[in-house]
Amino acid sequence: MGLIQNILAVIVVLGLLVTFHEFGHFWVARRCGVKVLRFSVGFGKPLWSRVDRHGTEFAIAAIPLGGYVKMLDEREAPVPDDQLDQAFNRKTVWQRIAVVAAGPIANFLLAIVAYWALFVVGTTAVAPMVGDTTPNSPAAEAGLAQGDEITAIQGEAVSNWEAINFKLVSMIGFSGDLAIEARPEGENDVVVYQLPLRDYLTRQDPPQPLETLGLTPWQPEVPATLGQVIDGEAAAAAGLEVGDRMVAVDGSPIADWMAFVNVIRGSPGESLEIEFERDGERRTTTLTPGRNRLETGVEIGYIGAGAEPVAWPEEYQREIRYGPIEAVGQSLERTADMTLLTVDAIRKMLIGLISPSNLSGPITIAQISGDSARAGLEAFVSFLAYLSISLGVLNLLPIPVLDGGHLLYYFLEVVRGRPVSEQTQAIGLRIGLAMVGTLMLMALYFDLMRLW
Amino acid letter, residue 208 = Q
What span, in angstroms and rounded, lies between the C-alpha atoms of 438 and 172? 25
Question: Distance from CA of residue 266 to its chain's centroid?
Answer: 29
Residue 22 is among the residues annotated as catalytic for this protein: yes
Q: 181: closest CA among 212, 215, 152, 146?
A: 152
**3-state secondary structure string across 333-354:** HHHHHHHHHHHHHHHHHHCCCC
CA dihedral of residues 168, 172, 174, 178 (deg, nearest 10): 10
The helix (run of H) or strand (run of E) holding residue 64 is strand 57-71
Asked if 250 contacts 218 with a C-beta cutoff of 8 angstroms, the reply is no
Asked if 77 contacts 84 with a C-beta cutoff of 8 angstroms, the reply is no
DSSP state of 202: T
Beta bridge partners of 272: 287
Alpha-helical (H) ranges within 129-231 are 138-142, 161-169, 209-213
Q: Is the peptide bond before 268 cis (omega within 30 degrees of 0)?
A: no
| One-character DSSP codes across 268-308 | TT--EEEEEEETTEEEEEEE--EEEE-TTS-EEEE-SEEEP
Query: Which of 22, 233, 241, 273 is flagged as catalytic?
Result: 22
C-alpha distance from residue 232 to each of 236, 288, 304, 361, 369 (Å): 6, 13, 8, 25, 21
Q: Which residues are catalytic?
A: 22
